[in-house]
């Protein structure tokens, strides 16, 4: 499985989520938000299929969730100025990064 495909899938998800966030903020008549949201999720579907051609569901899902959590948190931090409420939440994000490293490396060496 290509980490690049999972990263592009996660970036597509960010476009979709931010588009739908604009629909939530500005109302259901926000056509640009709908287009970005739907377009982003079309990208998610395409790259999910590409990833599943070579990786199993459990691995692809775990890596996607991790990459998406890190990238979307960074995007929300820099674009929307959103912050987590406590250091414990930042520790959780660090554990996600460590978990992705463990999944990618195939496990912790003995």
> Do 10 and 63 form a contact (C-beta atoms < 8 A)?
no
pLDDT at 105: 86
> Do 103 and 56 form a contact (C-beta atoms < 8 A)?
no
The rounded distance, in Å, linking the Cα atoms of 45 and 15 is 13
CA 45 to chain centre: 13
Mean pLDDT of the chain: 91
Name the pLDDT band for 110 (thresholds 50, 70, 90). Answer: very low
Percent of the chain exceeding pLDDT 70 equals 95
pTM over 0.85: no
Helices assigned H by DSSP within the chain: 3-26, 31-54, 57-75, 87-105
The answer, yes or no, to whether residue 9 has pLDDT greater than 70, is yes
Name the pLDDT band for 49 (thresholds 50, 70, 90). Answer: very high
The rounded distance, in Å, linking the Cα atoms of 1 and 60 is 8
Mean pLDDT of 30-42: 98
pLDDT at 1: 61
In angstroms, what CA-CA distances link 86 with 2, 5, 27, 83? Answer: 33, 32, 31, 9
The rounded distance, in Å, linking the Cα atoms of 46 and 41 is 9
């Amino acid at each position: 499985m290509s980490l690049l495909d999972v990263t592009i899938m996660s970036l597509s998800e960010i476009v979709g989520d931010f588009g739908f966030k604009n629909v939530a903020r500005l109302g259901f008549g926000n056509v640009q938000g709908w287009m970005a949201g739907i377009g982003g999720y079309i990208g998610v579907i395409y790259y999910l299929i590409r990833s599943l051609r070579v990786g199993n569901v459990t691995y692809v899902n775990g890596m996607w969730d991790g990459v998406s959590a890190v990238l979307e948190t960074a995007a929300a931090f820099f674009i929307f100025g959103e912050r987590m409420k406590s250091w414990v939440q930042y520790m959780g994000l660090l554990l996600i990064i460590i978990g992705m490293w463990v999944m990618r490396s195939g496990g912790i060496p003995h």
